[in-house]
Amino acid sequence: MVAALKMEIFLRKNELENQNLKSLYFGGGTPSLLSVDELQSLIDEVLKYFSFNEKIEITLEANPDDLDGNFLKALAKTPFNRLSIGTQSFFNEDLQLMNRAHDAGEAEDSIKRAQDFGFENISIDLIYGSPTSNLEIWKKNLVKTIELQVPHISSYALTVEPKTALNAWISQGKVAAPKETDQNQEFFFMTEFLKKNGFEHYEISNFGKPGFHSKHNSAYWKYGEYLGIGPSAHSYNGRNERSWNVVNNQQYIQTVNQNKLAKETEILSEKDQYNEILMIGLRTSWGVDLISLKEKISPELWEYFQNVIQEKLQSGLLEICENHLRIPEKNWFLADGIASDLFYVN
């Protein structure tokens, strides 16, 4: 797999218009299963074809149970300067429901260990709205996060996916289904609590202390170009082309070993780009750049957009501030519905 990743980097070395990278993200699965030497070798491969911005953010997604002392000691000697830890919860009942390999003690200890080895830029994932939780437990999860001095939090409502153990348990009546009213209450408590503790709520599911917003994810939300390497990885050229790699590991390796790209590509229409810009931008605190949007779309589509936003502007579901269209934070839980009402649908 590592050899195939290096080959794909070589095959796609000319795809990015800007060859000076501001972020490099190892994620989309469990990259912390690789050895530190393997991770370093991938960084070295990237450096053969790209340069690094002096303030580059290099992130490793990791499970708490992978972050033992030896791994972190070696990782601290590499260019990695940010960790995204899949904590999910500091309560065992939640972790067992989510079928996580780590326990509450490991969740806390992994963060402390990472800090002991010099990693200050740490993000953790937290899940709210679990049937095994309630508002009091959720408050304790957030208090623990503050006590641990974690500067970035990505937090998502628990969702029940088809063909999962959780879905089966709910169907069998072994576990209660998540309640949307509880999830709403926990979301709004979280936003107020974290803001009082110095966090900026800059995307619906993301909170960061000043200077600790995710550079990588912010590039997605600002509709910039990015290159994804590996099975299932997605790429976007910043204009009208999106591609994605095959999901199957073996198929990916076999294809790349033949000096071929294991990807499919689609060309986005003007209307596709318009819909995506609204869908992504309205999830953020800065919103949609109206000057940039007007440059990207036709006068006819711009007129449609101007007409369709009026009712929501008047009702307060949308607002315009410094040439940006955005959703007031109190309405962020409705963001997907608000954005879809503005879509152009043939």
The tens digit of pLDDT for each residue in 126-173 reads: 999 988 889 999 999 999 999 999 999 999 998 888 877 777 888 888
CA 168 from centre of chain? 27
Alpha carbons 170 and 127: distance in angstroms, whole number: 18
Alpha carbons 174 and 195: distance in angstroms, whole number: 36
| Mean pLDDT for the stretch of residues 273-289 | 95
Alpha carbons 120 and 196: distance in angstroms, whole number: 21
Residue 126: closest CA among 167, 85, 181: 85
Alpha carbons 60 and 239: distance in angstroms, whole number: 28
Q: Where are the alpha helices (DSSP H) in the chain?
A: 2-11, 36-49, 69-75, 92-97, 104-116, 135-147, 165-171, 180-196, 215-221, 249-256, 270-281, 290-296, 299-308, 310-315, 335-342
pLDDT band at 80 (very low <50, low <70, confident <90, very high): very high
Alpha carbons 94 and 160: distance in angstroms, whole number: 14
Alpha carbons 31 and 43: distance in angstroms, whole number: 13
The tens digit of pLDDT for each residue in 178-230 reads: 888 888 899 999 999 999 999 999 999 999 999 999 999 999 999 899 999 99
